[in-house]
Amino acid sequence: MGFYWVDDDGWIFLPALWGDADEASVRKALGGRLAVTAVRRCRHREARAVGFLDKMKGRGAWVFGWYGAGAPDVQAAADGGDLTVNWPLLGAVRAHGRGVHLSVQGEPMPSAELSLAAVNDQQTAHILFCALAPGFPEIIPAGSPKSEPSAALFRSGSDDTKNPTWYVFWESSAGTRVLPLYMISFRPTQRYKRTGSPPPHDKGS
């Protein structure tokens, strides 16, 4: 899966489609509660993309996930900046450690709810569709104060190895293990019911 090209300033421009995500599949995953207003590619310095690909050497399957946070944080990451830890938007009781949380590819709503928690109903929120290099993850229970791996063997975390909702990456390694690909902008529709904090996500809904 090659990149298109690198410009004179060292920015990498990514292929038109990674994984199974296109605008139609995103709209379907958001379930009509959120209206997609724009989809654009992210960009990165060559060194960051090369570092990510180095972590993927020897890996057969690509893993993807969704990152949600306040609009300025998402936009900064889409333009080549670092991912901001977003666990405070979940709260200490619901967060799985003090890392960067990304919901799994088929479940964008948990991350979308984090982004919506940081804006009002008149503002546009954003989420990032990202390629991930999780390595060997460890289980991190909700409410854990963990901010680093338990052992060198573990490269990331998860709430459940068999049926996860969240991937968790530590701030120290997220820059080379998470590569944002697309930024999706959206607003809530009348079907979306805002609560004081992001509600627990029901996979069966």
Backbone angles phi, psi at 114, to 5 degrees: -65, -45
Q: For residue 54, is pLDDT > 60? A: yes
Q: For residue 47, is pLDDT > 80? A: no
Looking up tokens 């509600």, which residue turns up? 199
Cβ neighbours of 104 (radius 10 Å): 22
Q: For residue 156, is pLDDT > 60? A: yes
- When pLDDT is cut at 50, 70 and 90, the band that residue 189 belongs to is confident
Rounded to an integer, the average pLDDT of 158-186 is 89
Q: Are 68 and 86 in contact (CB under 8 A)?
A: yes
**Angle at CA 148, nearest 5°, toward 202 and 167?**
25
Q: Are 158 and 166 in contact (CB under 8 A)?
A: yes
pLDDT tens, 118-151? 887 778 999 999 989 888 889 999 999 988 888 7
- CA 198 to chain centroid: 16
Looking up tokens 């990331």, which residue turns up? 156
Q: For residue 202, is pLDDT > 60? A: no
Q: What does the alpha-carbon distance between residue 98 and residue 95 come to, in Å, rounded to a whole number?
A: 7
pLDDT tens, 76-131? 999 989 999 999 999 999 999 999 999 998 899 999 999 999 887 778 999 999 98
Q: For residue 10, is pLDDT > 60? A: no
